[in-house]
Amino acid sequence: MRITGEAGLRAPAGEVFKALHDPEVLVRTIPGCRRLDLVGPDSYTMVVHAGVAAVKGEFAGEVRLSDPDPPHGFTLHASGSGAPGTVTATVDVTLVEVDGSTVVSYAADAEIGGMIGGVGQRLLGSVATKTAAEFFAAVDAEMTGAVGPAAVEPTRAEPAQKRSFVAPVRPRPAPATFLAGAIVGAAAALLGALVGGLVATRAGRR
Amino acid sequence: MTTKLFGEPIPRREDPRLVAGAGRYLDDIDEPGQLAAAFVRSPHAHASIVDIDVTGALEVDGLVAVYTYEDLAGPLAQPLPLLIPHPSLRAARTPYPLAKDRVRHVGEAVAMVVATDRYLAEDAAQRIRVTYQPLPPVVGLDAASKAGHLVHEDVPDNVSAHLVQEVGDAAAAIAAAPHRLHLELHIERSASMPMEGRGVHARWDETDRSLRVYSSTQTSTSLRFALAAKLDLPVDRVEVVTPDVGGGFGVKIVHPWPEEVLVPWAAIRLRRPVKWAEDRREHFISSAHERGQQHSVDVGFDDDGRLLGLSVKFLHDNGAYTPYGIIVPQVTSTQLPGPYRLGAYRVEFHSLYTNTVQVTPYRGAGRPHGVFVMERTMDAIAAALGLDRTVVRERNFIQPEQMPYDQGLIFQDGRPLVYDSGDYPAALRLAKKLVGWDEFTAVREQARAQGRRVGIGIACYVEGTGVGPYEGAYVRVETTGKVVVATGLTTQGQGHETVFAQIAADQLGVPVENVNVVTGDTRRFAFAVGTFASRAAVMSGNAVAAAAGKVRAKALRIAGEALEVDPADLSIVDGVVSVKGTPQAAIPLASVAVLANPLRYAFDEQAKQATQFAVGGGIHRPPVAEDDEPGLAATGYYSPVRSTFANGVHAAVVETDPETAEIRILRYCVVHDCGRLINPRIVQGQVHGGVAQGVGGALYERIVYDEHGQLLNASYMDFLIPYASEVPAIEIDHLQTPSPLNPLGIKGAGEAGVIPGAAVLAAAIEDAEGIPVHRMPICPSELWELRNADHR
């Protein structure tokens, strides 16, 4: 399936990159993101918790970057799997600065398998886009100071090439999309988080 | 006087039990110590298996065992059987019970988990990490025939089978014809979706060294043989019992399923009962689908619309494996001619592998596609010549006096395709009258004047039913006067307890309430084929009649001896044998049953009558004669020389919304000829169910894969089964043209209702819209697209 969308961030491209550079920000802003590990050049793993009601699960994801064209765009390859299903996605991301703000556009070509692929496909696109928007809104809030930085303690110190970032344990308001239905919600959260996460992770590398 | 039962619309005897929730289905079977199985299934359409890491599952409390392909040995490590070989099936491939190295469709079983309950089994299954190396999937007939990628490395063109049948020189006949048409006609993939999925329960008796398997199957006897072979057990140590089955529709004739061999195998290894009941998503992605075919048609005809030559080439999507051989495309190719004299006919198909769920027969089994092709072609000829659609059909009908009619083809049973009987012109006349065909022009015009779009369609079909090789039945009159009937074929809700009881009761002159019918239990009847191809009534019905006839003859002989009269002078009424015209000279059938079994021991009051001092006379002959057997019982078989052909005509009136393109069925009329009716109520029910499924297949149901081979609508949220609100009132008229091939003169009725559904609704929509409809199913958005394309 193909998912496209864009988000406006109220900061110049340079600042957007700077904000997205910090994996601690990403781990706080990607919906359901539990941890983000830098495992090698251009390679990350992440754990996303997604689900509603009875359908919940942790997805272990991998992200790889290719075709960098700073600061205009890049391609991300992501795969995630967990109890509710699997996601494999290729995402083209472009950044355009307009009047001091930045428009981030993404186009994801995703293969969604397992239970979420079979039972929620029809609604995945729109709900995933919405979840991605929530991610960008959260990043925007971080940059514009709408929320203060939460206290985050890395659980362990790692060498520079292998670092982990763990999400703080804190109550998180349930996004409206999480009411959309258990299965669809789980699927959407996963995909939205990945799409969002991919953008963020690429930026975080810089 | 016993009421004649054959032909009576008595209520279904199984319904009080089933409707009250007293049925016993596979998942109702529970035993102490029972374990549950769950399966790890491939999320990829095509991939190599790199690694299976089960360590995560080991932490789950209640886990008993995890099995992968590496645990299988002997026959179980071999691919599952190719059930129906055919010379044209040049590259048959069947799956392993658990994937070996490679998966070829989403849903293929990779590992089996056994735990103390299903919840824990699924928890453990979710913790098994399988590492896959994805391979390019082949999805859809276009990709399959291009063969840019392969489903099986050793099948270089993705072609499993290629078959040509030709009667006359079709190409020459078409070339020489005054009129020619070319049509591309497609039917999309769908699935039968029984309400109850597959399921299997197995119990191993270590002391007895015997295995009992319950399975929601359409064939218990063949499953028994398959299990004995796969598990290396003597057949007499394996028994297979079919509990109540919540629908089969063809998908459950496939056997043995991976789960069907693995669950009994695990039960033997673990020495504990094991159960697996399929969930709905598993059914979508790991059972079987059908229907997907693309047909390319060339037809030549004369000025009157008479067919001179027909050439059909089609592609059949058989999914990833071919356990059921070429039956579906073979049936399409041979049933396509329907009730018509074709002139010359050539049909050619390629059956192609794709990385999707395997394709096996679904109610209708290739016929809905064939009828769609033939009937759309008939309508196209009528349109080309400006003739009434029914006139073109009438001019091409095989006439009753031409029966038996040899189409010159070889049918799915390997026998010549010879229509045994039928009156096609009469069926069409009835259908036209029922739907008001001749008055419809005025109806259509009147609706037009009101801004409404209504259209009418008609479709004819001929259906080969009752294929061999045989069925059998055992009938015994007990000393209580009750009658036991056992037949080996299975029941999935058809009403066998009623119709087989009617047949036996009629033969034996007993009330139907006194007859108890058992089906699908290898302990009760071991030789059978199975329930498919609208064959149960024809095959087991005639076998029951044969067995009951023998019992009747024996009862009359014994009663004649007891009453000292000629058996020819006796009749059996309400369970009492009496002398015709002298009703006081009588003996109850129960007493005859007692006399039929000479006894030494008087274990009850009745038995006393059969002991050696009670039975007088004949001291110089053995109590059981050389050519006789004890008991008022007999076994009978029926084995037809070839199939018997039912037929019918459906007509439908639809209305399409000029703005939203919503399609509503206003009327649905059925004329149905399945020979003599055993029970009109049950035939009517079969027609209703079939029409509902036909409506679903025409307007709602379809299986949708994306380009990755992911099934996108694997739930009832998105695979739309019609509700009662979508199924129209069904008006039925019957013709009864007896089959000359079997003693009861009956033909099959199980699939008929579904067969012309796509054809007749396409025709009605086309009539309402004035736009050709060449692809089914059709939904409102597709009709809307057709309108837009038509306007461009």
Find tokens 């969002």 and name the residue.
A196
A28-32, B69-73, B711-715: range with lowest mean pLDDT = A28-32
pLDDT of residue B299: 98
pLDDT of residue B338: 97
Which of A45, A55, A59, A111 would you mutate first to test chain B, the one with the most B CBs within 10 A?
Answer: A111
Residue numbers in B near A119 (CB within 8 A): 281, 714-715, 717-718
User: Residues of A151-162 as b/e, b for ≥16 C-beta within 10 angstroms?
Assistant: eeeeeeeeeeee
pLDDT of residue A60: 83
Please state the rounded mean pLDDT for residues B271-288. 97
Contact at CB, B106 and A111, closer than 8 angstroms: no
Contact at CB, A113 and B126, closer than 8 angstroms: no
Axis-axis angle for helices A182-205, A114-144 (nearest 10): 50
Length, in residues, of chain B: 792
Contact at CB, A118 and B44, closer than 8 angstroms: no
Whether the pLDDT of residue B750 is over 50: the answer is yes
What domain range is A183 assigned to? Answer: 2-205
Please state the rounded mean pLDDT for residues B271-282. 97
**Strand B730-735, strand B663-673: pairing:** parallel
DSSP three-state, residue B470: coil
For residues A142 and A19, the answer to whether their CB atoms sit within 8 Å is yes
Please state the rounded mean pLDDT for residues B529-552. 96
Whether the pLDDT of residue A179 is over 50: the answer is no
For residues B404 and B641, the answer to whether their CB atoms sit within 8 Å is no
Contact at CB, B44 and A112, closer than 8 angstroms: no
Write down the domain spans for chain B: 31-135+192-286, 367-465+642-791, 468-596+631-638
Q: How confident is the model at residue A191 (pLDDT cuts 50, 70, 90)?
A: low
Compare all CA atoms of chain A with the CA of B123 and give the residue at the minimum distance. Answer: A83
User: In this structure, what DSSP letter does residue B70 have?
Assistant: G
Strand order in the sheet with B632-638: B515-519, B483-487, B471-477, B632-638
Whether the pLDDT of residue B342 is over 50: the answer is yes
Residue B107 to residue B130: CA distance in whole angstroms = 13
CB atoms under 10 Å from CB of A98, counted, come to 10
Choose among B44, B126, B711: nearest Cβ to A118: B711
| Proportion of chain B above pLDDT 90, given as a percent | 93
Residue (of B344, B303, B333) closest to B171 by Cα position: B344
Residue B64 to residue B73: CA distance in whole angstroms = 20
Residue B759 to residue B332: CA distance in whole angstroms = 14
Provide the CATH number for the domain around residue A159: 3.30.530.20
What's the mean per-residue pLDDT of chain B?
96
B173-176 CB contacts, 8 Å cutoff, 24+ apart: B173/B300, B173/B308, B173/B309, B173/B343, B173/B344, B174/B298, B174/B299, B174/B300, B174/B308, B174/B309, B174/B310, B174/B311, B174/B344, B175/B300, B176/B300, B176/B308, B176/B309
Whether the pLDDT of residue B355 is over 80: the answer is yes
* Beta partners for residue B312, in sequence order: B297, B347
Report the Cα B779 to chain-centroid distance in Å: 26
Choose among A1, A81, A119: nearest Cβ to B706: A1
Residue-wise pLDDT tens digits, B494-539: 999 999 999 999 999 999 999 999 999 999 999 999 999 999 999 9
Whether the pLDDT of residue B462 is over 80: the answer is yes
**Strand B483-487, strand B471-477: pairing:** antiparallel
- A-contacting residues in B 363-402 (Cβ below 8 Å): none
Choose among A86, A112, A119: nearest Cβ to B281: A119
Residue (of A4, A170, A173, A182) closest to A94 by Cα position: A4
SS3 of B483-551: EEEEECCCCCCCCHHHHHHHHHHHHHCCCHHHEEEEECECCCCCCCCCCCCCCHHHHHHHHHHHHHHHH
Whether the pLDDT of residue A111 is over 60: the answer is yes
pLDDT of residue A174: 34
The residue type found at A140 is D
pLDDT of residue A36: 81
pLDDT of residue A49: 74
Strand order in the sheet with B582-588: B570-573, B576-579, B582-588
CB atoms under 10 Å from CB of B700, counted, come to 18
Residue numbers in A near B708 (CB within 8 A): 111, 113
Choose among A1, A83, A118: nearest Cβ to B126: A83
Please state the rounded mean pLDDT for residues A40-48. 78
Residue B409 to residue B165: CA distance in whole angstroms = 7
B31-135+192-286, which class in CATH? Answer: alpha beta
B43 touches chain A (CB under 8 A): yes
Residue B113 to residue B122: CA distance in whole angstroms = 8
Residue (of A39, A17, A31) closest to A158 by Cα position: A39
Which of A86, A115, A119 would you mutate first to test chain B, the one with the most B CBs within 10 A?
Answer: A119
pLDDT of residue A202: 38
Residue B95 to residue B112: CA distance in whole angstroms = 15
Instruction: Please tell me the CATH code under which domain B367-465+642-791 is placed.
Output: 3.30.365.10
Whether the pLDDT of residue A41 is over 80: the answer is no
Q: How confident is the model at residue A199 (pLDDT cuts 50, 70, 90)?
A: very low
Q: What is the value of pTM for the model shown?
A: 0.91
pLDDT of residue B605: 86
Which of B708, B716, B720, B779 would you mutate first to test chain A, the one with the most A CBs within 10 A?
Answer: B708
| Proportion of chain B above pLDDT 70, given as a percent | 99
Residue numbers in A near B285 (CB within 8 A): 118
Ranges of H-type helices in B127-208: 141-146, 170-176
- Contact residues for A23 (Cβ-Cβ < 8 A; gap 6+): A36, A38, A163, A165, A201, A204
For chain A, how many structural domains are there in total?
Answer: 1
Compare all CA atoms of chain B with the CA of A89 and give the residue at the minimum distance. Answer: B708
B28 touches chain A (CB under 8 A): no
Residue-wise pLDDT tens digits, B390-433: 999 999 999 999 999 999 999 998 999 999 999 999 999 999 99
Whether the pLDDT of residue A155 is over 90: the answer is no
pLDDT of residue A127: 66
Where does residue B520 fall: left (phi above 0), alpha (psi -120 to 50 degrees), or beta otherwise?
A: left
Contact at CB, A112 and B710, closer than 8 angstroms: yes
Please state the rounded mean pLDDT for residues B76-85. 97
Please state the rounded mean pLDDT for residues B574-591. 94
Tell me if domain B367-465+642-791 and domain B468-596+631-638 are identical in fold: yes
**CATH fold for the domain made of B468-596+631-638:** Aldehyde Oxidoreductase; domain 4 (3.30.365)
**Strand A73-82, strand B274-277: pairing:** unpaired
Compare all CA atoms of chain B with the CA of A2 and give the residue at the minimum distance. Answer: B706
Residue (of B18, B24, B5, B13) closest to B516 by Cα position: B13
Residue-wise pLDDT tens digits, B779-791: 999 999 999 998 7
pLDDT of residue B296: 98
